[in-house]
Structure 1
Amino acid sequence: MFGRNRSQWHSRLVRIAGVERRPIGGRMAIMRVTVLGTGAMGAGMARSMLREDIEVTVWNRTVERSEPLADDGAMVALDPTAAVADADVVVAMLFDTAATLDVMATVLPAMKEGAVFVQSATVGVEGASRTASLAAEQGVAFLDCPVLGTKAPAEQGALVMLASGDPTLRERVQPAFDAMGAKTIWVGAEPGLGSKLKLVCNAWIGVLTAGVGQSLALAKGLGLDQQLMLDALDGAAAGSPYLQAKGKAIIESSYAPQFSVDGVRKDTGLIRDAIAASGLSTVLVDGVRAAFDAASEAGHGDDDLAAVYFGF
Structure 2
Amino acid sequence: MSAATADVTPQRPVVAVLGTGIMGSGMARSLLRAGLEVRAWNRTQAKAQPLAADGATVTDTAAEAVRGADVILTVLNDKTSVAAALTAASDGVRRGQVLLQSSTVGPDASVELAQRAADLGLVYLDAPVSGTRQPAEQGALTVFVSGPSAAREVAAPVLDAIGQRTVWVAEEPGAASRLKLVVNTWVINMVGGVAECLNLAEGLGVDPQLFLDAVRGGPLDSGYLHGKSAAVLSGDLTPSFALSTALKDTRLILEAAEQTGLRLDLTAASAARFERAEAAGHGGEDMIATFYAGRPAEKDAG
Query: What are the ranges of 5 or more consecutive residues in structure 1 without an aligned counterpart?
Result: 1-27
1:112 CA displacement: 2.3
Correspondence for 1:264: 246
1:220 aligns with 2:202: yes
- 1:18-167 equivalence runs, <5 A: 30-167=12-149
Q: 2:225 aligns with which of 225, 234, 243?
A: 243
Q: CA offset at residue 145 of structure 1?
A: 0.2
Which ranges of 4 or more aligned residues in structure 1 deviate by more than 4 Å?
none
1:181 aligns with 2:140: no
Cα distance in structure 2, aligned partners of 1:53 and 1:233: 42
CA–CA separation in structure 2 for the residues paired with 1:148 and 1:118: 15
Residue pair 1:295, 1:310 contacting (<8 A) in 2 also: yes
Q: Is contact 1:29–1:55 with CA below 8 Å preserved after alignment?
A: no
Aligned residue in 2 for 1:169: 151
Pairing of 1:275-286 with structure 2 (within 5 A): 275-286=257-268
Q: Which runs of 5+ in 2 are unaligned?
A: 1-9, 295-302
Q: What displacement does 1:109 show?
A: 5.0
Instruction: For residue 62 of structure 1, report the CA deviation from its aligned partner.
Output: 1.0
Which of 203, 206, 230 is the aligned partner of 2:188? 206
| TM-fit CA distance, 1:139 | 2.2
Length, aligned pairs only: 285
Deviation at 1:54, TM superposition (A): 0.3
Deviations 1:165-184 (A, max 9, x none): 00110010100110000110
Offset of residue 108 of structure 1: 3.9
Is 1:255 the counterpart of 2:237? The answer is: yes
Distance 2:78 2:277 in 1: 21
Aligned to 1:25: none
Question: Is residue 246–residue 306 contact of structure 1 (8 Å, CA) maintained in 2?
Answer: yes
CA shift for structure 1 position 47: 0.5
Contact 2:40 2:59 in 1 (8 A): yes
Contact kept in structure 2, 1:29 and 1:53, CA below 8 Å:
no
Render the CA deviation track for 1:98-118: whole Å, top value 9, x for unaligned. Answer: 111111123245212321011
Q: Which secondary structure state, in structure 2, belongs to the residue aligned with residue 90 of structure 1?
A: strand
* SS of match in other structure, 1:186: strand
Residue type matched to 1:181 in 2?
Answer: G
Shift of 1:46: 0.5
Alignment-derived partner of residue 289 in structure 1: 271
* TM-score normalised by the chain length of structure 1: 0.89
Q: Percent sequence identity over matched residues?
A: 42
Partner of 1:193: 175
Partner of 2:287: 305
Q: Tell me: CA distance 1:164–1:29, structure 2 relative to 1, closer, same or farther (3 Å).
A: closer
Equivalent position SS for 1:143: strand
Shift of 1:138: 2.2
Does the 8 Å CA contact 2:61/2:88 hold for their aligned counterparts? no
The structural deviation recorded for 1:68 is 0.8
Cα RMSD for the two superposed structures: 1.2
Q: Using the alignment, how far apart are the partners of 1:119 and 1:244 within structure 2?
A: 32
Using the size of structure 2 for normalisation, the TM-score is: 0.92
The separation in 2 between residues aligned to 1:238 and 1:276, in whole angstroms, is 31
Residue pair 2:96, 2:121 contacting (<8 A) in 1 also: no
SS state at 2:217 partner: coil
Q: Higher relative CO (CA 8 A, sep ≥ 6), structure 1 or 2?
A: 2
